């Protein structure tokens, strides 16, 4: 029996076991900080190590190859090799969620803004001679033509010396850059903008660098907001390209969880591919939670409810492995919280108003778990932003920080202070007053009564 037959005979259970194994191997790479080229083992060794069949190992490797985390090499000295570093893998998992969840460029730009402003503010404090040399070299190369200007933003993030910002903003930037057509040139004035930002950073003028970055991002956003989902990667294998095409169809067609896209026969005719290619594409979709193939009468490829949990777990493992200082996490989360309260206030619906009031009533009645109450309020706000990128990163950082903190001080007094702060923020939101909502959130972040947030030297720039 060949590989395809083995996978087809157990189509429903095999992808589940393979997905679990894929996640285990990814976690091993991240937790051990394994580098590109590290040998994970042969197919037989992985089968024995994880106590699964070789067919499951092969399917897991296909998923890892799709995610560009590992690659199988045949022949003498072959085996399963790490393809991406722990950092690149964490970024890749966030990018995969963004791509398959249909996160729009508008959503990415809204989150990118406050994080890039934070990056240049921190770069102005932490830049060293190597950073200066690299940034000025990028400026010279950019003026010479080509697309090196795309690398400038990554270099500015690296100069911030904040590992949390590096991986989270790195994922946002990678997702945006994938949507830039290959032939596009830098917008007019980009070189001058970059030069002014870099010189302000080198001179230590953090406030000036922040203003210049906001203006530059506003120009970029006007040119990049059109895209919604990425186009297929030209070098990706056919099953991966098909999976991405089906995901785009789901989002562009307005499909909701439970919708049936068609039977296997329908999809084979629609996409003109072989049964083996379609089934591997379906496994990729199932792995991401985008859709799943249901058997029997009325079955077919059914739209699922995609979760950010896997991406959040991977980034949490990476941040934990890096042992990132709590202050670095807090300053990133604080910037996200200010963006959250701004966009939530601007987009507050009638249902959101009811939800906000109901949550405050819940807080007033629930007195048992300080950590959970703090988390719930910020999660409620992130759901009101109409921005899945903000929701994802807010969840990631809440998860990481929640695992590091414990209740502090008098629980009753802290709960009262937290509830009062949440009530004041909510009232400003209900009044539609963005400026006051931001100010009260800033004060809340600085007071430190919420165990999930903490004071940092800056609360970041405006999201607008």
294 falls within a domain: no
pLDDT mean values, one per 10 residues, the chain (464 residues): 37 60 87 89 93 92 85 88 85 84 90 96 96 92 60 93 90 85 70 94 97 91 53 64 89 87 93 92 86 84 82 76 79 93 97 95 76 80 94 80 58 77 96 97 78 47 44
Residue 48 and residue 111 in one domain: no
What are the C-alpha distances in Å from 265 to residues 4, 279, 321, 427? 18, 11, 46, 54
Residue 303 in contact with residue 255, Cβ under 8 Å? yes
Q: What is the pLDDT of residue 227?
A: 43
Q: What is the pLDDT of residue 223?
A: 63
Residue 393 and residue 426 in one domain: yes
Tokens representing 119? 């990056």
Query: Which of 224, 240, 260 is the C-terminal boundary of a domain?
Result: 224
Q: What is the pLDDT of residue 85?
A: 83
Domain interval for residue 171: 104-224
Looking up residue 128, the CATH number of its domain turns out to be: 1.20.120.530
Q: What is the pLDDT of residue 322?
A: 75
Looking up residue 26, the CATH number of its domain turns out to be: 1.10.10.10
Query: Which of 224, 256, 272 is the C-terminal boundary of a domain?
Result: 224
Residue 83 in contact with residue 71, Cβ under 8 Å? yes
Residue 336 and residue 443 in one domain: yes
Number of domains in the chain: 3
**pTM for the complete prediction?**
0.79
452 falls within a domain: no
Q: How far apart are CA 300 and CA 262, in angstroms?
A: 5
Query: Which of 224, 247, 266 is the C-terminal boundary of a domain?
Result: 224
Residue 57 and residue 111 in one domain: no
Q: What is the pLDDT of residue 411?
A: 60
442 falls within a domain: yes
Beta-sheet pairing, 300-303 with 70-73: unpaired
| Residue for token pair 């022949």 | 75
Residue 42 and residue 121 in one domain: no
464 falls within a domain: no
Residue 66 and residue 112 in one domain: no
Please state at what angle helix 190-202 crosses helix 105-126, rounded to 10 degrees.
40
Residue 361 and residue 407 in one domain: yes
Q: Phi first, then psi: give them for residue 284, nearest 5 degrees.
A: -65, -45
Residue 144 and residue 201 in one domain: yes
Residue 165 and residue 122 in one domain: yes
Residue 394 and residue 364 in one domain: yes
413 falls within a domain: yes
């Amino acid at each position: 029996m060949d590989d395809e037959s083995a996978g087809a005979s157990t189509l429903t259970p095999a992808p589940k076991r393979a997905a679990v194994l894929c996640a285990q191997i990814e976690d091993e790479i991240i937790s051990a900080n394994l580098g590109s080229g590290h040998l994970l083992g042969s197919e037989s060794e992985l089968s024995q190590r994880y106590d699964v069949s070789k067919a499951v190992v092969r399917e897991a490797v296909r998923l890892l190859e799709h995610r560009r985390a590992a690659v199988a090499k045949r022949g003498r000295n072959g085996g399963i090799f790490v393809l991406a570093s722990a950092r690149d893998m964490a970024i890749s998992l966030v990018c995969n969620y963004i791509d398959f969840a249909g996160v729009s460029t508008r959503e990415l730009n809204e989150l990118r803004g406050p994080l890039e402003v934070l990056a240049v503010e921190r770069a102005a404090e932490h830049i060293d001679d190597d950073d200066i040399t690299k940034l000025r070299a990028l400026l010279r190369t950019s003026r010479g033509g080509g697309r090196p200007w795309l690398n400038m933003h990554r270099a500015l993030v690296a100069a911030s010396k904040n590992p949390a910002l590096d991986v989270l903003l790195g994922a946002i930037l990678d997702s945006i850059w994938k949507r830039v057509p290959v032939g596009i040139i830098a917008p007019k004035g980009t070189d001058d903008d970059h030069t002014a930002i870099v010189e302000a950073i080198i001179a230590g003028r953090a406030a000036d660098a922040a203003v210049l970055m906001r203006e530059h991002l506003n120009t970029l956003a006007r040119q990049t907001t059109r895209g919604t989902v990425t186009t297929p990667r030209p070098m990706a294998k056919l099953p991966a390209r098909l999976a991405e095409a089906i995901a785009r169809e789901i989002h562009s067609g307005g499909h909701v969880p439970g919708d049936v896209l068609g039977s296997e026969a329908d999809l084979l005719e629609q996409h003109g591919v072989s049964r083996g290619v379609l089934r591997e594409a379906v496994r990729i979709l199932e792995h991401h939670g985008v859709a799943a193939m249901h058997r029997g009468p009325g079955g077919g490829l059914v739209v699922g409810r995609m979760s950010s949990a896997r991406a959040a777990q991977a980034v949490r493992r990476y941040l934990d492995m890096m042992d990132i200082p709590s202050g670095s996490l807090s300053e990133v989360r604080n910037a996200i919280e200010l963006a959250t309260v701004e966009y939530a206030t601007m987009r507050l619906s009638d249902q959101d108003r009811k939800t906000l009031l109901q949550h405050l009533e819940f807080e007033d009645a629930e007195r048992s778990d300080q950590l959970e109450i703090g988390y719930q309020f910020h999660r409620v706000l992130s759901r009101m932003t109409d921005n899945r990128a903000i929701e994802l990163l807010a969840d990631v950082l809440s998860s990481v920080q929640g695992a590091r903190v414990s209740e502090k001080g008098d629980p009753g007094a802290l709960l009262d202070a937290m509830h009062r702060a949440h009530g004041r923020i909510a009232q400003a939101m209900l009044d539609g007053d963005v400026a006051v909502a931001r100010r009260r959130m800033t004060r809340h972040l600085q007071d430190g009564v919420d165990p999930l947030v903490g004071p940092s030297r800056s609360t970041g720039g405006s999201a607008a």
